[in-house]
Amino acid sequence: MTPSVTSTPDPGVVVEELLDMSAGLTKGCGDGGGMICDFVQMIVPVSWAAPAIAGMIAIALVVVIALALRNVAHRLISRVVRKASSERTSLAGRLRGREAVTPEGLDAIVAERRRQRAETIGSVLKPVASIIILGTAALTVLERLSVPIAPLLTSVGILGVAVGFGAQELVKDFIAGMFMLLEDQYGVGDVIDTGTAIGTVEAVTLRITRLRDSDGRVWYIRNGTITRVGNESQGWSRATVDVPVAYASDIPAVRDLLKQVADEIWNDLAFRDSIIVEEPQVWGIEQISDTAVIFRISVKTIPSRQAEVARELRVRVKSALDRAEIPIAG
């Protein structure tokens, strides 16, 4: 039986195969070499292995730098969001043009609105930063591996167009939600009218807005379907109280009496420091009929507190009219 002869591979062929396998990595050195390639060639005695090792080191550096940049971007976004959501100022003081302070009676609704808006914007910026940084790093790595990225970008573009056509409503909701947050159109605690529903905002996301109406019914409204918004809680509100008195009443006396009531509530620290932002005004006679003369009192308040001030005014006006024996018209 003739023993089989084991053939010894040609070293030249092996080297050529290894060079072919590392052809993509050799691009990391560039055509004319580079610092990484020169450094590796000083350490590695085998000339054909130096370009491959240099290419792998370059790819590793790209990945490490991308992860570091992503971490720095996330930390920066978190810091900005934390600072924006922790700023606490007196709303009544801001509306009166005073310096920003931290009052004990801070409106919790305003603070929650600021916090949620900042955190929502931060939750959007973090994935965007990750996609940009890691996507750029991935393209750089593919280029160093000699992978043609032009067909890949074309394929991704076509896929993006197809997905965009299939998810037009979802994209529309997200874009509308982004603009709504950036423009601060409304937030948690606001009473808004979206046309389809009126209620208090309980939650705001990039896709939907959740409202609860006066009957306790919860409404889920897609942001892309909201074409107009009436916000009753932004900036400031106005409480108006109409006081009908008998036609034969003494007009100057009634006006002076209502002015005293307005001054009393303005000087009440429980309202002036936390709810009322401007001195109440007695606008005078609003309407005249054959049985009554209607006076109107106007009070500028912080958002969503006008009903509370109006109820307190009615109680005080009723007590003052009773003491002065001025009849209220029916």
Q: Spell out the domain ranges in the chain.
A: 14-147, 178-231, 237-323
**Residue 225 is encoded by which pair of tokens?**
């379907």
- For the stretch 73-82, contacts whose Cβ atoms lie closer than 8 Å and that sit 24 or more positions apart, written own/partner, are 73/126, 73/129, 73/130, 73/133, 74/126, 74/129, 74/130, 77/122, 77/125, 77/126, 77/129, 78/122, 80/122, 81/118, 81/119, 81/121, 81/122
CATH 2.30.30.60 holds for 178-231: yes
* CA–CA distance, 240 with 99 (Å, rounded to integer): 28
Q: 277-304 pLDDT, tens per residue? A: 888 999 888 889 888 999 999 998 887 7
The rounded mean pLDDT for the chain is: 77
On whether the CB atoms of residues 177 and 207 are closer than 8 A, the answer is yes
Residue (of 143, 153, 2) closest to 62 by Cα position: 143
pLDDT value of residue 37:
58
Phi-psi region for residue 159, left (φ > 0), alpha (ψ -120 to 50) or beta? alpha
Characterize 279-313 residue by residue with b for buried, 16 or more Cβ atoms within 10 angstroms of its Cβ, and e for exposed: ebebeeeeeeeeebbebbbebbbbbbbbeebbebb
Say if residue 92's pLDDT is above 70: no
**Which one is predicted more confidently, 169 or 315?**
315
237-323, which class in CATH?
A: alpha beta
* CA–CA distance, 232 with 300 (Å, rounded to integer): 13
**Residue 99 is encoded by which pair of tokens?**
């310096």
Range ranked top by mean pLDDT from 32-36, 50-54, 164-168, 265-269? 265-269
3-state helix, strand, coil split of the chain in percent (to 5) is 55, 15, 30
pLDDT value of residue 307:
87
Q: Which pLDDT band, with edges at 50, 70 and 90, does 113 fall under?
A: low
DSSP string covering 52-68: HHHHHHHHHHHHHHHHH
Strands 230-231 and 218-222: unpaired
Say if residue 206's pLDDT is above 90: no
How far does the chain reach from its first CA to its final CA, in angstroms? 129
Residue 143: count of CB within 10 angstroms of its CB: 15
Residue (of 164, 219, 165) closest to 191 by Cα position: 219
Tokens 């932004």, located at residue: 234
Say if residue 24's pLDDT is above 80: no
pTM above 0.85, yes or no: no
Q: What residue type is assigned to position 324 of the chain? A: A
Helix axes 168-183, 149-166, angle to 10 degrees: 90
Q: Which pLDDT band, with edges at 50, 70 and 90, does 36 fall under?
A: low
* CA–CA distance, 7 with 198 (Å, rounded to integer): 86
3-state SS assignment for residue 300:
strand
